Amino acid sequence: MDDEGFEDYDRELELALYREYRDVVSQFAYVIETERRFYLANEVNVVRRDTEHDFYFEISMTDVWVWDIYRADRFVKSVRVLTFKDVNVEELTRRDFHLPEELSLDT
């Protein structure tokens, strides 16, 4: 495969990954960013661990989707990450589900 063909293939994988993310993001409560990966999870716990001369973070997540273009199965039951770098955790806003009036059982 030439360089252009490989770049096109890589772009298609990225686009498919973004579309998957867009389709699944509403199923999760948190977005977690580390220096190496991006995660969606429904439960997350970040603990600072102190050592003699430094500290690190231990991140435990359950019900997880992993942003990784080369991963065959991005849905994972649980993930544990240890990192010396920054961790960003954001809680997603829950959008209320509204059933269209014509489909409502209360009419």
Query: Mind listing the pLDDT tens digit for each residue in 77-100?
Result: 999 999 999 999 999 987 655 556
Q: What is the mean pLDDT of residues 19-38?
A: 93
Structural tokens at position 68: 């990784």
pLDDT at res. 84: 94
Please identify which residue in the block is written with the tokens 């009419």.
Answer: 107
Structural tokens at position 43: 């439960």
pLDDT at res. 101: 67
**From CA 38, how far away is CA 87, in angstroms rounded?**
10
Q: What is the mean pLDDT of residues 14-30?
A: 91
Please say whether the beta carbons of 46 and 89 come within 8 A: yes
Whether 4 shows a pLDDT value over 80: the answer reads: no
Query: Mind listing the pLDDT tens digit for each residue in 67-83?
Result: 998 888 899 999 999 99
Query: Mind listing the pLDDT tens digit for each residue in 39-57?
Result: 999 999 999 999 999 999 9
8-state DSSP, 104 = -
| Spacing of C-alpha 15 from chain mean position | 16
